[in-house]
Amino acid sequence: MPVLIETLCVGLGTYLIRAGSLLLGSRVVWPSWVVQWLSFVTPKEKSGSPLLV
């Protein structure tokens, strides 16, 4: 059960950061650790470019 809660929290946090990023667009300069973390948790296509949703 703790793994499920942890997974849901990470997923929700990732969703909120990505949604905020899309809403705010280029008006926000994200810290490098956030950019690196998002690139790690974002699904990739086989070509290596991020999926467009």
The tens digit of pLDDT for each residue in 5-22 reads: 988 888 888 888 788 777
Q: Is the pLDDT of residue 26 over 80?
A: no
Q: Residue 50 pairs with which residues in a beta bridge?
A: 44
16 assigned to some structural domain: yes
Q: What is the mean pLDDT of residues 42-47?
A: 60
Q: Is the pLDDT of residue 50 over 60?
A: no
49 assigned to some structural domain: no
CA distance 50 to 21: 15
25 assigned to some structural domain: yes
Q: What percent of the chain has pLDDT over 90?
A: 0
13 assigned to some structural domain: yes
Count: domains in the chain: 1
CA distance 38 to 17: 9
- Give the range of the structural domain holding residue 14, as residue numbers without chain letter: 2-37
pLDDT at 47: 57
pLDDT at 21: 74
pLDDT at 45: 58
Torsion of CA 10, 32, 49, 51, to 10 degrees: 30
